[in-house]
A and B are shown apart, each in its own frame.
Chain A
Amino acid sequence: LKTQYGYADAISGFFEFPTDNARRILPPHLEPIELHHGTSIFSMVAFDFTESEVGPYGEVVMSVIVSPLVKAGERLPKSAFYPYLVGTTTKAARDHAIERWHLPHWMEDVAIEFHRDGPRIAAKVEVGGAAVAELSISDHSWNPVSHLYQSFMKDDEGAYLANIVMDAEQSEHEEETGRLVLHDHPFNRDLVISDVYEIPFRELWMRKGVQTFDPLIQLQTA
């Protein structure tokens, strides 16, 4: 009943942006986590999937970090996020993710180009030749991890939670070596670009990993 995706690289940058912006993106039942008072966390993740039910593809996920759903007696999540926009490089991947995970998608194919250069990796995202975003991060020490994350989704049909375990080699640090360039493109319309700090306070790189989804949980919300 679990769904698995194998990936070569999954790179994430976590960025400070105003809580006012986060609240505009989030549905009312989700609470943004604040790094500081008034400052929430925007994340961009770029995946290079090598194995899945719909073949290899690339994916970019724009999210707001939110409070996890913590329950006594259950495994504690590392963190939780609300993906408010996903872009994929193939229609098959997009249809699959919308149908199975109710993820909100950019409805055209996006192009994701990964550049690997020793300790650095970058992902460049474009739509129809127009630049959307460029994320670059660097590595630190590598360790095998198995971490639980929670992804919250909401669409016209309801609200959902996906428990996702990421097994991978992981490098995580807060050296502020990375950078994000967000272009003035409709893909980024939910963000006030000038208010997103361009240097990630945390850089997370997972490689040679497997992403495992538990079956989707439908949530009761007011």
Chain B
Amino acid sequence: MTAVQKDEAGRTAFSDYDYSNFYYGAGDDPLNLLGPFRDWYREALPNGYYLYSEPVTSAPTTRVSVKNRKTGQVQDLLNLASYNYLGISYRPEVKQAAIEAIERYGLGASGSPILSGTMDIHVALAEAMARFKAKDAAILFPTGYSANVGFISSLMRAGDNIILDQYSHASIVDGAILAKSKTVFFRHNNPMDLERKLLKCTGKKLVIVEGVYSMDGDVCQLPEIVEVCKRHGARILVDEAHSTFLFGPNGRGVAEHFGLDKEVDFHLGTFSKSLGGQGGFVCGSKDLVDYVNAFGRSRFFSCNLAPPVAAGLLAGVQIVENEPALRAKLWSNVAFLRRRFAEEGIDIGKSTSQVMPVLVNNDAKVFAVAEKIQERGLYLQPVTYPAVPKHKSRLRISVSAAHSEAELEEAVRVIGGVLRDEGIIA
């Protein structure tokens, strides 16, 4: 007998359960959930969950080699899953910078950034980011996750208020938890609900939104949200993980796109999305950076970014500054794909960015759809409950400036074909 077993009518379905069923378990032993989860996962894995964490055996260019976890076969697939929105991570000058850095510095920083782990390459990257974002200073974090966790918890305390969009990234939520502040969620991208929540808050208030939301690809309603924040004396942090280097006349992000660069108090972002690297950053005043340097525990108690990564990122920032045509190509690709999806009747919801959810809206079929799409040569992952609401399952596409129109056309043909075969679209 297993925990996920047949009911009295003999029905069994791994799809009756999902990750959310294995998060809480009563009893005294923290290992209580391992057995039930193992039994479920054993059934879930061959039924679609193998599509997650498949080893990629090549650089994340527009075509990748992927080892299928079910068959063990390595497939050459058109890549629609990697971030790398500007196709920068494998550019020759980026790789060369990383190679030179590894020759000069070796593998790692070998220390915390506040002790021995700050190298001149880190200083140069932070200065480049401050310049790029037109701020006084910038501070680096080892990952985007640690940037949110470290920054939020460095600034906010027990008794303070953190007001989050309900679709906030886990790193933002975890930052709020670590800060021990009162945490309130407002309805996604809804300034009116934000105002309702702010009306109930007294004391220090920090509102956190994202420039582009990673599951729906929709853009933050920043003008209205900034207006509400100003009215209620709340500080505002914009996580531009999916928008830095892409949005705005200079690529600084959604805040620049809306002309609100100076109205936003804190600018946070990552290097793992548009640049395809690793790390996070916060830009602001020198006083802010000095304070976060002293109190940002996720940074303070981590090793600094590996020098080859920092060097590659620095080269990447220079490419973004020198080649605005990359952004233009990305937005041209986004427009092309949006038009072609619309022509084929493929629903991408409220996306207006390079993150496009292909809505399957059928939790029972999404894995079968994703499997067939991979069999026909595309690399992308299904997203289902609890990552998105029930019946809102989807395939998440990341468009890159590196994609050719022919590749995007191939994607439309395959996705449209499978969705039609499965009865998802007419």
Q: Spell out B's residues near A (CB within 8 Å).
A: 1-5, 7-9, 11, 16-17, 21, 23-27, 32-33, 35-36, 40, 164, 166, 173, 176-177, 182-185, 389-392
15 inter-chain pairs at a CB distance below 8 angstroms, sorted by A residue, are A33-B24, A37-B176, A38-B184, A68-B24, A70-B3, A70-B25, A70-B33, A74-B3, A75-B3, A76-B3, A76-B40, A78-B17, A146-B8, A172-B390, A201-B389
For residue B177, which residue of chain A has the nearest CB?
A37
Interface size on A, residues (CB 8 A): 32
Task: Please give me the 10 A-B residue pairs with the lowest Cβ-Cβ distance, nearest first.
Answer: A174-B389, A67-B24, A72-B35, A70-B25, A69-B26, A38-B183, A146-B7, A76-B3, A174-B390, A36-B185
Question: Could you tell me if B173 and A36 are in contact, using CB atoms closer than 8 angstroms?
Answer: yes
* Contact for A69 among B16, B27, B166, B177, CB less than 8 A: B27
Question: Could you tell me if B25 and A174 are in contact, using CB atoms closer than 8 angstroms?
Answer: no
Q: Does A173 contact B (CB under 8 A)?
A: yes
Interface class of chain A by DSSP: loop
In the complex with contacts A70-B25, A76-B36, A174-B185 CB distance below 8 A? no
In the bound complex, how far is the Cα of B24 from the Cα of A19, in angstroms?
15
In the bound complex, how far is the Cα of B35 from the Cα of A165, in angstroms?
22
Question: Could you tell me if A37 and B173 are in contact, using CB atoms closer than 8 angstroms?
Answer: yes
> Would you give the 0/1 interface string for A122-163, flagging 1 where the beta carbon is closer than 8 Å to chain B?
000000000000000000110001111000000000000000
In the bound complex, how far is the Cα of B389 from the Cα of A174, in angstroms?
6
Q: Spell out A's residues near B (CB within 8 Å).
A: 16, 31, 33, 36-39, 67-76, 78, 140-141, 145-148, 165, 167, 172-175, 201-202
Question: Could you tell me if A72 and B24 are in contact, using CB atoms closer than 8 angstroms?
Answer: no
Which chain A positions have C-beta within 8 A of B176? 37
In the bound complex, how far is the Cα of B196 from the Cα of A16, in angstroms?
15
In the complex with contacts A68-B26, A78-B16, A147-B16, A73-B3 CB distance below 8 A? yes
Which chain B positions have C-beta within 8 A of A146? 7-9, 11
Which chain A positions have C-beta within 8 A of B40? 76
Please name 5 further chain A to chain B contacts, defined as beta carbons within 8 Å, in addition to the given A38-B184, A67-B26, sorted by A numbering: A69-B27, A70-B3, A78-B17, A173-B390, A174-B389
Which chain A positions have C-beta within 8 A of B23? 33
Which chain B positions have C-beta within 8 A of A70? 3, 25-27, 32-33, 36
In the bound complex, how far is the Cα of B245 from the Cα of A100, in angstroms?
64
In the complex, what's the smallest C-beta–C-beta distance from A117 to chain B, in angstroms?
22
Question: Could you tell me if B3 and A67 are in contact, using CB atoms closer than 8 angstroms?
Answer: no
